[in-house]
Chain A
């Protein structure tokens, strides 16, 4: 079985840090988007028609909010996976270092 190690210790550590940060921040963003926070209005990609041609305003905007929120949650899940991979890499690096010295 070829070695599963593909990045050095520093890159694996960076990967871990960014994954943990990504999980926490994207999860919180997901929660805030789902709660229809007003501060995030600029980040929701609505168009003119979403404002003017809405039969029951602001349901279309709310729907967009929910979609972006779900995207954030999925991205957070992906970062959990990236974090797990980085953790494996860190462990493999430690084991290799232990074997060499």
Chain B
């Protein structure tokens, strides 16, 4: 964790044409530098290495197809711990060839499999049809069936149905025709109706549902089908029936003439189906084998292609120097890493086959470099919550190191409960101890990942909450009596008659009576307050005053940090014209308030507490009444402080613009500021306007921000009350029955209490306190010194590049 961001420099890399790929590969592995785009006006299709990138994208496409097939076959892709290096260009063609071969094989196998499955479906349908139409013909209970075999045509049957007049049929001597097949269930009624309307009753349709649901290969859905059998007479009707069947997408199969033929066809179908199943199994096995083999090297290929594509993308950013036949790249590099950069270039040159090694040249630049703040796994969380507000300007003081302590502290002031703090700390501790496993698992649940990345923040918040829980003496809304209370009830009522004790529901303990109050509790709030009815009056006063004190200290600290910014950016005048008025304004008004609070706590005791003045009235009177009676008295001093604060305002408002104006006019002791400052046109109106806005913001902000810190009191009160309500309304139910039967209530009640505690008090209140503590940092603290308008340093690092396949969930 550093005080301010690192010093960066702009450097030029001269990459010789044989070894540029290897040099960039080395730099990508190390993640040292950020490349600048030297060809911003060139479109992505006109860049030098566009064909190589196209090749990489083609490989990515094939890899995507491969991974989807592997995922469909439910094979796991083994991931290695060490990621492979980017392959040299000559290896690329090999990989490309392998991938293309795999793609071809897979698509061929898939096509064959499809064909076989269609075949199988046809045969299965035919089998069903044959079996079911057999039942049609042999069933005698269906009145609508006048299906007689052509054999009996000459003879009238006993079940002559007057519907179609079979006798008429015989007289005309026309032959009965049959059409049989399968149709989808949803179309059956419409089909029947259409047949009736078109053929005007000269056809007879009978149908039954197939037991097995078959898959429709075109749409992939599994639906029920019906086997139907249409008998008709006459050729014209036959054509019409044929056309209608086509229209409804029926699968038609030839109807056998008699039972023997039917039996033969059934047999042959059975053997053919068996064969087909065999072949399908073998195909499946083969496919699986191929995919398994591919899955072993899939991860390596994915990483290699990703790295290759990244390297070519970076090479596209470089410009080509014709005279030296080398590529020039401009990079932002931290000054402390220049030696590593040289080492990486040497290594890359050695791996490649260029005769001349590549080298680095540092160049001066007037652009603002990006901001780099190094952090380890502990400080990354705090760094990211600071950066969520804004990345710091180049070389600006960073608020992150202080946030490590102040943020969990302000959270804990609002959360303060020992029991909840313990649970939160244990949860965070579990996340921290199992972080290696969790990093490997890399879950896709975003909420969980957010909690996991903030595990150190949560751990700190929990530990600080334990501390404030001990101070507030609050553990699941009950106080712990560790040291023995300082109040004694017996001492209050020894000299009283029993009547006072027996007739009053509430008893008052007066600390002025001897023996009642034997001294303050050593650490935290006395546990007797948990039993007191006026507990909230006492705690509210304490917490409000504490919030104001914490707030004023936090804000003063912020103002003090601005000194370092002023000194670093060589604006020493700002220290006298900005920092000093700001600090004086804050201290004279609110510092005095804090002083009054502390003085009242120390100077007044139980004996003369009735004469203690109200701080609030005094503070208001400081602004409203001006008695200059005696400079040494308190009113005199208040007037003095008020005058200083009021005089700070015009200094803050006009000091900086006037000074800069005077300097520009060529005032004595002209200091050479940055070259950029004097080169700029000095706009007095602009500076004055900015300064006016800043002054108003600061002065009004002082008052509103101090009041804003009262949320520390508000949230801690809310948390304590919620905790108490939960105990009183939930847990107390478990204790109501005192016999052993009471356990039957106690066990589930405790489970409910635990779940409500976690969901309401830990998650909801925790998020709320987190948000408010964050707001206090972002607005009230960082407002005083932090600009946050910088750009973050994004080094070219292979491990930071997102993988398309990971996002799709394929890897």
Contacts and interface: CB of A to CB of B under 8 A. Distances in A.
B732 A71 contact: no
Contact of A21 (B731, B732, B754): B754
A42 B478 CA distance: 11
Contacts of A40: 478
B530 A39 contact: yes
Contacts of A45: 735-738
Contacts of A101: 76
A37 B754 contact: no
Contacts of A64: 738
Contact of A68 (B423, B479, B728, B738): B738
B735 A21 contact: no
Interface stretch (A1-9, A73-81, A90-98): A73-81
Contacts of B750: 22, 25-26, 75, 79
Contact of B754 (A22, A41, A43): A22
B163 to A, nearest CB: 57
B448 to A, nearest CB: 12
Interface string A45-58: 10000000000000
Interface stretch (B104-112, B135-143, B358-366, B739-747): B739-747
Given A45-B738, A71-B738, A74-B743, A39 B527 contact: yes
B531 interface: yes
Contacts of A42: 728, 732
Given A39-B479, A39-B530, A67 B738 contact: yes
A2 to B, nearest CB: 27
A18 interface: yes
Given A45-B735, A78-B747, A101-B76, A71 B742 contact: yes
Contacts of B375: none
Interface string A7-28: 0000000000010011001100
A43 B76 CA distance: 56
Nearest to A101: B76
Interface residues of A, number: 25
Contacts of A70: 740
Contacts of B734: 75
B481 interface: yes
B522 interface: no
A31 interface: no
A21 B115 CA distance: 60
A37 B734 CA distance: 18
A38 interface: yes
Nearest to A43: B735
Contacts of B728: 42
A21 B742 contact: no
A74 B740 contact: yes
B476 to A, nearest CB: 8
A79 B476 CA distance: 19
Contacts of A67: 738-739
In this complex, the interface size class of chain B, counting residues with CB under 8 Å from chain A, is 20 to 34
B751 interface: yes
A25 B750 CA distance: 10
A71 B531 contact: no
A68 B479 CA distance: 19
A26 B735 CA distance: 12
The interface centre, meaning the residue of B479, B527, B738, B740 with most chain A CB atoms within 10 A of its CB, is B738
Contacts of B743: 71, 74-75, 78
A22 B751 contact: yes
A3 B731 CA distance: 35
Contacts of B751: 18, 22
B754 A38 contact: no
A44 interface: yes
A75 B478 CA distance: 20
Contact of B478 (A39, A44, A68, A78): A39
Given A45-B736, A71-B738, A75-B743, A39 B423 contact: no
A71 B146 CA distance: 82
A75 B754 contact: no
Nearest to B477: A39
B731 A43 contact: yes
A75 B747 contact: yes
Contacts of B481: 37-39
A41 B531 contact: yes
A71 B737 CA distance: 9
Nearest to A40: B478
Contacts of A39: 478-479, 481, 527, 530-531
A9 to B, nearest CB: 13
A64 to B, nearest CB: 6
Interface string B168-184: 00000000000000000
A62 B743 CA distance: 19
Contacts of B735: 43-45, 68, 71
Nearest to A68: B735
Nearest to A45: B736
Contacts of A25: 476, 750
Interface string B521-535: 000000100110000
- For A21, A25, A68, A71, which residue has the most chain B Cβ atoms within 10 angstroms? A71
B747 A79 contact: yes
Interface in B226-268: none
A44 B527 CA distance: 18
A78 B76 CA distance: 42
A53 to B, nearest CB: 13
A25 B727 CA distance: 13
Contacts of A72: 746
A80 B395 CA distance: 57
A100 B479 CA distance: 50
Most buried by A among B76, B478, B728, B746: B746
B746 A43 contact: no
A71 B731 contact: no
Contacts of A26: 746, 750
A60 to B, nearest CB: 11
Contacts of A71: 735, 738, 740, 742-743, 746
Contacts of B478: 39-40
Contacts of B738: 45, 64, 67-68, 71
28 contacts: A18-B751, A21-B754, A22-B754, A25-B750, A26-B750, A37-B481, A39-B478, A39-B479, A39-B527, A39-B531, A42-B732, A43-B735, A45-B738, A67-B738, A68-B735, A68-B738, A68-B742, A70-B740, A71-B738, A71-B742, A71-B743, A72-B746, A75-B743, A75-B747, A75-B750, A78-B743, A79-B747, A79-B750
Interface of B: 76, 423, 476, 478-479, 481, 527, 530-531, 728, 731-732, 734-740, 742-743, 746-747, 750-751, 754-755
Interface of A: 18, 21-22, 25-26, 37-45, 64, 67-68, 70-72, 74-75, 78-79, 101
Given A22-B750, A42-B732, 7 more contacts: A18-B751, A18-B754, A22-B754, A43-B735, A45-B737, A68-B735, A74-B743
Nearest first, the 8 A-B pairs at minimum CB distance are A67-B738, A75-B746, A74-B743, A71-B742, A43-B735, A18-B754, A45-B736, A75-B747
